[in-house]
C-alpha cells in the first residue's frame, strides 16, 4: 500500500468514525466519500472500526489500571465505559453489526472479535490468566458491568460517580494489599 493510499484510507476512516459518532444510529457509514475507493467491502470497513475501537480501549485500559491498581475489574469496566463515551457511534455500529450481521462472514468475524475482547477484558482485570472459554465468560460480565455503569450514568448525569459492584465474587477481604494479591496469583 502506497503512502497516499494509506493516508487516504486513514482520512476516510476518520471521516467514517466522525460520521458514526455524529449520527449515532448504528448504521455502518458506507456512503461516506472515499469508502468505496479505500475499503474492499463492509467487512473491511467494520474491521477498521474494530481496530480503532480496540486501540482506544487498550489505551484507556492502560490509563485506568495505572489510576486504579487495586480494583482491576472496576478499572477495566471504567475503561470500556470511557471508550464507549469517546466513540459512541462506533460502539453502536459494532453492536449492530454483531447483533445483525449482513453476512455469515461478518457474523463469524464479529463473534471472534467480541470473544477476543471479552478475553482481553478478563485478562486485564486480573480475572483470567489466558484467553479461554472461562475468560470469555468473565470478560462478558466485565462488559456488562461497564454497560450498567453507562446506563446508570445516563439516568443520573449530574452524579459524578456511580457505585460499581464487583464482577467476580471473591472471598478476600477489602483491605488486601497489592502485594498480597500478587502473592495469591503466584501461589495459584
CATH number of the domain residue 44 falls in: 1.10.357
Residue ranges making up the domain that contains 72: 3-156
169: confidence class by pLDDT, cuts 50, 70, 90: very low
Residue given cell 482485570 in the structure block: 125
Amino acid 2: pLDDT = 56
**pLDDT over 60 (residue 131):** yes
| Among candidate residues 167, 168, 185, the one with its CA nearest the CA of residue 176 | 185
- Global pTM reads 0.79
Percent of the chain scoring above 70 in pLDDT? 79
Res. 175 pLDDT band, cuts 50 70 90: very low
The confidence score (pLDDT) of residue 8 equals: 84
- The answer as to whether 177 is a domain residue is no
At residue 46, what are phi and psi to the nearest 5 degrees? -65, -30
**Is residue 182 scored above 80 in pLDDT?**
no
Within-domain flag for 182: no
Residue 156, pLDDT score: 76
pLDDT at residue 159 tops 70 = no
Q: Which pLDDT belongs to residue 166?
A: 44
**In this predicted structure, what is the pLDDT of residue 163?**
45
In a domain, 163, yes or no: no
Q: Could you tell me if residue 165 is inside a domain?
A: no
Determine, yes or no, domain membership for 128.
yes
Q: How far apart are CA 35 and CA 33, in angstroms?
A: 6
Structurally, how many domains does the chain consist of? 1
pLDDT in tens, 54-96: 999 999 999 999 998 889 999 999 999 999 999 999 999 999 9
- Residue 145 pLDDT > 60, yes or no? yes
180 in a domain, yes or no? no
Q: How large is the average pLDDT for residues 123-131?
A: 94
pLDDT for the residue numbered 179? 58
**What is the pLDDT of the chain when averaged over all its residues?**
86
pLDDT of 133 above 90: yes
Averaged pLDDT, 26-33 = 96
| 107 within some domain | yes
Between 157 and 85, whose confidence is greater? 85
Count Cβ neighbours within 10 Å for each residue of 74-112 and write b for 16 or more, e otherwise: bbbbbbbbbbbeebebbbbbbebbbeebeeeebeebbee
Amino acid at each position: 500500500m502506497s503512502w497516499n493510499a494509506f493516508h487516504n484510507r486513514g482520512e476516510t476512516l476518520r471521516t467514517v468514525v466522525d460520521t458514526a459518532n455524529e449520527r449515532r444510529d448504528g448504521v455502518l457509514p458506507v456512503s461516506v466519500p472515499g469508502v468505496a475507493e479505500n475499503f474492499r467491502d463492509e467487512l473491511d470497513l467494520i474491521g477498521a472500526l474494530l481496530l480503532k475501537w480496540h486501540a482506544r480501549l487498550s489505551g484507556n485500559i492502560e490509563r485506568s489500571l495505572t489510576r486504579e491498581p487495586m480494583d482491576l475489574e472496576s478499572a477495566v469496566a471504567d475503561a470500556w465505559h470511557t471508550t464507549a463515551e469517546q466513540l459512541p457511534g462506533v460502539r453502536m455500529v459494532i453492536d449492530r453489526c454483531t447483533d445483525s450481521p449482513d453476512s455469515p462472514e461478518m457474523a463469524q468475524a464479529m463473534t471472534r472479535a467480541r470473544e477476543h475482547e471479552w478475553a482481553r477484558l478478563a485478562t486485564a482485570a486480573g480475572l483470567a490468566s489466558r484467553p479461554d472459554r472461562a475468560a470469555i465468560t468473565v470478560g462478558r460480565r466485565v462488559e456488562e458491568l461497564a454497560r450498567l455503569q453507562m446506563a446508570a450514568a445516563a439516568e443520573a448525569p449530574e452524579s459524578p460517580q456511580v457505585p460499581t459492584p464487583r464482577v467476580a465474587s471473591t472471598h478476600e477481604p477489602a483491605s488486601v494489599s497489592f502485594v498480597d494479591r500478587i502473592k495469591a496469583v503466584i501461589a495459584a
